[in-house]
Amino acid sequence: MANRASTSLRARLVRLAKVNPNLRPHLLPLLWADGRSKRASLISDRVREAFESEMLPEVLRMAETQPLREVRDHFSKELDLAFASKAPTYLKLINYQSTYETDVAFLNNLKRAMDEWIMDRLMGRRATL
């Protein structure tokens, strides 16, 4: 019952944000935090470690000069190519993959970790403005 109530509250917040654009800056962080807490358990510590140690330095470097969406698109394509061709990037990252995770699941989790980092970064920027 509690889950149903939280879903109902979330739906009402989404509707409120749609009809009141001026409230969005206040409502979106609440909606984002709720969604993030649900997804956090889907991404293993090993995936986070892979992203933070192998990808984040380059992501940070690119984010200094390019919009975060472009950085995300670039790395998403790079990951797809690396996994398809078993490139050196793949060989580094795959060391972090757990035994029960398929390559596709691991790749999707890496992309999810990157998306979370980007959303955190975007929300952090909005909070400081």
pLDDT for res 64:
87
Crossing angle, helix 103-128 and helix 56-63, to 10 degrees?
40
pLDDT value at position 21?
Answer: 76
Asked whether the beta carbons of 79 and 109 are under 8 A apart, the reply is no
Does the predicted model carry a pTM greater than 0.75? Answer: no
Q: In the prediction, which pLDDT does 109 show?
A: 84
Tokens representing 103 are 């390559």
pLDDT at position 67, please? 87
Residue ranges of the chain with per-residue pLDDT less than 50: 1-3, 6, 36-41, 126-129
pLDDT tens-digit map of 92-128: 888 888 777 788 888 888 888 888 877 777 666 544 4
CA nearest to 122, candidates 6, 5, 25, 18: 25
